[in-house]
Chain A
Amino acid sequence: MELPYKILVVDDEPDLEPLMLQRMRRYIRQGRYTFVFARNGLEALDRLNQDGDIDMVLSDINMPQMDGLTLLEQIPKVDPDIRSVIISAYGDMKNIRTAMNRGAFDFVTKPVDFKDLQITIERTLLHMQEWREALSYRDRLVSIQNELEVASRIQQSILPSEFPDDPRYQLHGHMEPARDVGGDFFDILDLDRGRMGLAIADVSDKGVPAALFMMSCRTLLKGVAIGLAEPGAVLSEVNQLLHEDNETFLFVTVLYALYDPSNGDFIYASGGHDAPLLVRADGSTTLLPLTDGIALGVLPDLEYRQHKIRLEPGDTIVLYTDGVTEAQNTDEKPFEVKGLQNIFTGPGSSLGARDGTDAVFQQVRDFMGKAAQFDDITCLTLHRDM
């Protein structure tokens, strides 16, 4: 059972106390209200400070030592959530106005009509209850928001932020979620014989569900890729693992590639992911062929074909998610693969990995202007120097 509401009655007339207890006895017996009394504003303040659990104050205006209007100003300093109702002389609009301006919730007039007073008390308590609930929702929202910020930091911290320092090639990537947390990721893995594993992926949703799915994809991919070399076999195995306990039917598109810095060999397999953009040193750009793989997590027992090309010195490969190509401007026109190609065609081919990635984000942002970001945006760029 809930505790009774505690009401502090402040009046210098001693008769009010027995009268109140008698008229409200039904509600006191029901456990709805409990009353405490004070004879003036000062006594009332002492009581408020001492008890700490008073929900509502019902106060007369004219009293010795400290009057009701002064008391009204002091109450919020003790607890801003306490609601006050003023008892005033009939027709004393001047004091009633002053009381309301000082934060009184309502007023009743003398002689007190106890039926009307009881309705006023109920209305005041209801308002106070709703106010307290609103405050607690606000606190919960704030705490969820804080958790999302932590989640966002954790997510960003698992993405590579340091990139290989090797004279033969450059690698650089970045992910910008549409909300606090996202479903995109990229990864860079050191594999045996000096080879690098490169992954970029996009989970079919955004926000927290996608972020959780993304974390497990990324862990599975990393684990599988270290054991298996061939990109096709890696996707096949990760697909199987994701499908086994995928109750949510979330799926993920992944492009996984193996890069050998010793000879420039780039072997990739796509599980439903957008085709990589190849930028040749001469400034020409082409989309590499898709390998016809299905997004991971949808169907069991899939084989993934892979495709191999060789990067020559000066060549660049751009991996991206559809957050880049489907970014919209204020006219709802998409950035498209063409927008990406324009960045790297001609003189753009010599941007290199870091400047190339930065240029993609800069151009997409400029293109979007004031339009909202609907999707996570990710880009990972590989450039062969020698």
Chain B
Amino acid sequence: MDITSRRTEDALIVSAEGRVDGANARKFQKAVENVITDGDQAVILDMENLSYISSAGLRSILLIAKGLQKRSSKFAVCALQDPIREVFRIVGFDKIVSIYDSQGEAVKALGG
């Protein structure tokens, strides 16, 4: 699991790579939370290069989303690979977290 991030005018974009499972879910959550600063009004988690996420990883995303919600920052995920989109659908997270097909769409939706 690897995390990279960059800031556009409108949003902080965090890209995750590899696998998030029970063994590294907490590390993943801390890593993402560490790059978020108080000034970030919108955070987009780009999952284009994420190949697997377990339920412990979903919980980490839930905790990140709750943290942002508390300070009224927006949050979305984008570019989910098919198996991960399926996991989101099964667990019902597609109804809790905003999902966009691409980074561009997510930035447009959250930045406006």
Contacts and interface: CB of A to CB of B under 8 A. Distances in A.
B66 A249 contact: yes
A60 interface: no
A375 B54 contact: yes
A374 B92 contact: no
A273 B93 CA distance: 12
Contacts of B62: 249, 251, 298
B50 to A, nearest CB: 14
Contacts of A374: 21-23, 54
B55 interface: yes
Given A271-B92, A294-B95, A205 B63 contact: no
A253 B56 CA distance: 12
Nearest to A274: B90
A261 interface: no
Contacts of B95: 292, 294
B91 A206 contact: no
B92 A272 contact: yes
Majority SS of interface residues in chain A?
A: loop
A68 interface: no
Contacts, number: 60
B56 A206 contact: yes
A272 B89 CA distance: 8
B55 to A, nearest CB: 4
Interface string B92-103: 110110000000
Contact of A295 (B23, B54, B92): B92
A143 B23 CA distance: 24
Question: Which has the most chain B C-beta neighbours within 10 Å: A178, A202, A294?
Answer: A294
B55 A322 contact: yes
30 contacts: A178-B22, A203-B55, A204-B55, A204-B56, A204-B58, A204-B59, A205-B22, A205-B56, A206-B22, A206-B56, A249-B62, A249-B63, A250-B59, A275-B90, A290-B90, A292-B95, A293-B92, A294-B93, A294-B95, A294-B96, A298-B62, A298-B92, A298-B96, A322-B54, A322-B55, A326-B54, A374-B21, A374-B54, A375-B22, A375-B54
Which 10 residue pairs spanning A and B have beta carbons closest together?
A294-B92, A204-B55, A272-B91, A204-B59, A272-B92, A295-B91, A205-B56, A206-B22, A249-B63, A295-B92
Interface of B: 21-23, 25, 54-56, 58-59, 62-63, 66, 89-93, 95-96
Given A204-B59, A253-B55, 11 more contacts: A203-B55, A206-B22, A206-B56, A249-B63, A250-B59, A292-B95, A294-B93, A294-B95, A295-B91, A322-B55, A374-B23
